[in-house]
């Protein structure tokens, strides 16, 4: 029987502490030294070293140092936030990147962390609270092309499958939608040092109503053409739209060429008016 099945059986039998012990034992065997606890909404809290992680399932294979290095290499390839910066994390997911931004900007800075899926947002809040990220403001909303409610497709298996949908069938939830301009105004944000956008193809909606792009210094935005190529879903093709938008708004930008499709889909940009 697989480890995941054993853990589910133990939890179902209300033998939570046996499940925690088994997970920690396996983690120690793998050299990870994590501890585990089941939270509300069937979310798993995991501590490795001094850092807390929250996920849909217990990740006994987690290598915190490797995860952080991976995120750092992708999201901060174009610009690494520094002390005092204002950062916005659109599509914050489980909060790993938010935490790294929080550490970079310090007490003098601020991170605005945005997530549109309810269960993932709860995991994000757990990450923020457990890691005591006092310079982070979290928002449960979708950044899109209009203000008003939008539908978010729910995938209980993995948070990266959740995205804005216009379908009436399947599993979805309704959440407040805001344009990025509205979000900036509501939160009284005058200037953004760094913005990350990773929202499963909906980035094309964000740029439709983004007049205040001029107030953003550095941007890392994921185009999802790679998902379009994998699935044949045309709605994922956004790279050309994004680069045209950046060019129109006086940004210098580039892509990488690593041969890894989801890494090469990231577009890094800097506002030319802020280049010395």
Return the domain boundaries, the chain: 3-62, 66-274
Stretch 193-221: mean pLDDT, rounded?
A: 96
Question: Would the pLDDT of 160 be above 50?
Answer: no
Contact call for residues 95 and 113 (beta carbons, < 8 A) = yes
Backbone angles phi, psi at 89, to 5 degrees: -110, 95
Given CATH 3.30.1780.10, say whether it is the number of domain 66-274: no
Q: Provide the pLDDT for residue 172.
A: 73
Q: Which position has the token pair 């010395």?
A: 276
Q: Provide the pLDDT for residue 173.
A: 84
Residues 6+ apart with CB under 8 A from 196: 75, 87, 88, 89, 90, 91, 97, 101, 219, 220, 221
User: What is the residue-averaged pLDDT of the chain?
Assistant: 92
Stretch 234-262: mean pLDDT, rounded?
A: 95
Residues 6+ apart with CB under 8 A from 208: 145
CA–CA dist 70, 77 (Å, integer): 10
Tell me: the pLDDT tens digits for 33-48?
999 999 999 999 999 9
CA–CA dist 168, 160 (Å, integer): 20
Helix (H, G, I), strand (E, B) or coil at 250: coil
Q: How confident is the model at residue 158 (pLDDT cuts 50, 70, 90)?
A: very low
Stretch 8-29: mean pLDDT, rounded?
A: 95
CA–CA dist 4, 8 (Å, integer): 6
Question: Would the pLDDT of 275 be above 80?
Answer: yes
């Amino acid at each position: 029987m697989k480890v995941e099945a054993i853990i589910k059986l133990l939890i179902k039998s209300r033998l939570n502490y046996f499940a925690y012990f088994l997970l920690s034992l396996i983690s120690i065997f793998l050299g990870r030294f994590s501890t585990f606890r089941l939270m509300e909404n069937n979310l798993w809290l995991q501590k490795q070293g001094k850092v807390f992680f929250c996920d849909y399932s217990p990740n006994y294979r987690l290598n915190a140092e490797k995860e952080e290095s991976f995120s750092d290499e992708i999201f901060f390839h174009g610009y690494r936030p520094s002390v005092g910066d204002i950062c916005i994390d659109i599509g914050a997911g489980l909060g790993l990147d938010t935490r790294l931004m929080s550490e970079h900007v310090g007490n003098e800075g601020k991170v605005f962390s945005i997530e549109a899926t309810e269960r993932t947002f709860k995991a994000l809040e757990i990450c923020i609270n457990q890691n005591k990220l006092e310079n982070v403001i979290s928002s449960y909303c979708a950044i899109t092309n209009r203000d008003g409610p939008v539908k978010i497709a729910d995938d209980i298996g993995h948070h990266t499958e959740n995205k804005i949908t216009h379908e009436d069938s399947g599993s979805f939830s309704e959440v407040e939608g805001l344009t990025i301009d509205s979000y900036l105004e509501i939160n009284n944000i005058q200037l953004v040092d760094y913005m990350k956008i990773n929202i499963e193809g909906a980035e094309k909606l964000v740029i439709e109503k983004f007049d205040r792009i001029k107030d953003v210094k550095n941007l890392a935005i994921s185009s999802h053409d790679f998902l379009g190529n994998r699935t044949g879903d045309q709605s994922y093709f956004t790279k050309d739209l994004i680069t045209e938008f950046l060019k129109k708004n006086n940004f210098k930008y580039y892509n990488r060429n690593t041969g890894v499709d989801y890494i090469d889909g990231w577009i890094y940009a800097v506002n030319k008016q802020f280049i010395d």
